[in-house]
Amino acid sequence: MFKKNDWTLLIEEDRNYKIVAKVGSGLLQTIRGYIDTDTLIGVPYGTVVTSTLGAKFRAIPATIFDIIEHRFRIKAQAIYPKDAIYIVKATAIGPGSRVVEAGTGSGFLTAVLAWYVRPWGIVYSFEKRFDHIRVAIKNIKSVGLDLYVDLQLRDVVKSGFGSMKVDAVILDMGDPWNVIEKAVEVLKSGGTLAVFSTTIEHMSKTVEMLKTYNFYNISIEEVLLRRWKSVVGELRPETFDVVHTGWIITARKA
């Protein structure tokens, strides 16, 4: 049953048109007319609501990825959901985890991490570009995850991360090998460092540096996702898809 302030994904099945809304936030404008989100308070998941133009939308609870994909403005290249969720798995992030992340970009990965560290954890996220962090702050706030995120404008290669101790450090930035030494300072012993690498050269420099700083259990993984058409009579892979994103390197601090 929906409560006020829950996030809902509204799906117009005939057209595969989807929109994310906050339950109880009044009238929502869509390209298919207005939907009164107040009527969703107290109704079961899967209820069908009708817009002012007569379009029928099924309301289901939104996932964190639905929320981000529909509500965020993306400025820097954002991580893909398949990689973001694998990083959560590989770093064993959960409620109460303390995490350092660089760079923030538009905050896509930040929001996913924040979602999973709730309600007691924290994500310290660092970004060197003002135009990027400005977008990230707005994005994170717009979905109500700012309580779990400490966003800081800082070049971590020059200034490091600070003096906190964290369970995991996650790097999605141009030259992560230049901050491995600084990551060692904030990571707890046995904690996990995860680096998202998009090229082989990038990966090679990172692994070399991890070995220099005695990280162990180094692993390199690539998440391959193949989308299929879900149309009866046409069940086959999609013709076009994303063929490369990057590798996820993980290692434990000695």
Binding residues: 106-109, 127, 132, 155, 172
Q: Which stretch binds ligand SAM (CB under 6 A): 19-27, 29-37, 59-67, 73-81?
A: 73-81
Exposed, middle or buried, 43 (CB in 10 Å: 0-12/13-18/19+)? middle
- Between 98 and 128, whose beta carbon lies closer to ligand SAM? 128
Task: Measure the CA dihedral 48/52/54/56, to 10°.
Answer: -20
- Between 1 and 242, whose beta carbon lies closer to ligand SAM? 242
Instruction: Work out how close the CB of 78 gets to ligand SAM at its nearest, in angstroms, rounded to a whole number.
Output: 4
Does residue 62 bind ligand SAM (CB under 6 A)? Answer: no
Does residue 246 bind ligand SAM (CB under 6 A)? Answer: no
Q: Which residue in 11, 20, 67, 79 binds ligand SAM (CB under 6 A)? A: 79
Does residue 202 bind ligand SAM (CB under 6 A)? Answer: no
The DSSP annotation for the chain comes to: ---TT-EEEEEETTTTEEEEEETTS-EEEETTEEEEGGGGTTPPTT-EEE-TTS-EEEEEEPPHHHHHHHH----SPPPPHHHHHHHHHHHT--TT-EEEEE--TTSHHHHHHHHHHTTT-EEEEEES-HHHHHHHHHHHHHTT-GGGEEEEE--HHHH---S--EEEEEE-SS-GGGGHHHHHHHEEEEEEEEEEE-SHHHHHHHHHHHHHTT-EEEEEE------B---TT--SB-SS------EEEEEE--
- Between 10 and 143, whose beta carbon lies closer to ligand SAM? 143
Instruction: Work out how close the CB of 109 gets to ligand SAM at its nearest, in angstroms, rounded to a whole number.
Output: 4
Q: Closest residue to ligand SAM, Cβ-based?
A: 103
Does residue 129 bind ligand SAM (CB under 6 A)? Answer: yes
Site string for ligand SAM, 94-113 (x = CB under 6 A): --------xx-xxxxx----
Does residue 126 bind ligand SAM (CB under 6 A)? Answer: yes
Applying CB under 6 A, what is the total number of residues that bind ligand SAM?
Answer: 22
Does residue 176 bind ligand SAM (CB under 6 A)? Answer: no
Does residue 209 bind ligand SAM (CB under 6 A)? Answer: no
User: Which chain residues interact with ligand SAM by CB under 6 A?
Assistant: 76-79, 102-103, 105-109, 126-129, 132, 155-157, 172-174
